[in-house]
Amino acid sequence: MFRVSHSQIINAAPVVVYGILTDYAGAHNAILPRPPFGDIHVTRGGHGAGTELDVTLEMFGKQFPFHLVVTEPEPGRVLMEADAQAEVVTRFIVEPAGEGKTHLTISSENPSSAGFKGWLESQITSMITRRIYRREMDNIDRYAQQAMKAQTA
């Protein structure tokens, strides 16, 4: 098992960022980087804990389907997506970072092979995953800014 994480400051209040992340029926689908993600297909719920969804990630010319179950270990602060079959867990940690700003961390735990193959997989996957997380956070920042402008218009 190996962990990949990335943190970034988002120019929106934590409540706004957390709201975007928990809205699987709308906003969360909009902030996913394409490629490598396909559309989210919500199969249960659609907002926060209890939501179940199917999503496909395309990497290295292969498609990896995930069935994610969403929990909120710390509502308003920690959102977690887990795929029991793939043994992948992703956490979104939302923390205040000054007035109107959020320190967002996305962290994933991923299975790996043993030995050198596992080490190599973890290195390559970590590099690619961090790049995806940076794009996703930039998308969250833009989405939040657009949403706040729309509210004031």
Of 76 and 146, the one with more pLDDT = 76
Which of 97, 93, 104 has the alpha carbon at shortest distance from 143? Answer: 104
Domain layout of the chain by residue ranges = 2-152
Encode pLDDT of 86-145 as tens digits. 889 999 999 999 999 999 999 999 888 888 888 888 888 889 999 999 999 999 999 999
pLDDT of 153 above 70 = no
Q: Output the DSSP codes for 38-81.
A: ---EEEE-SBSTT-EEEEEEEETTEEEEEEEEEEEEETTTEEEE
pTM of the model: 0.92
Give me the CATH code for the 2-152 domain, please. Answer: 3.30.530.20
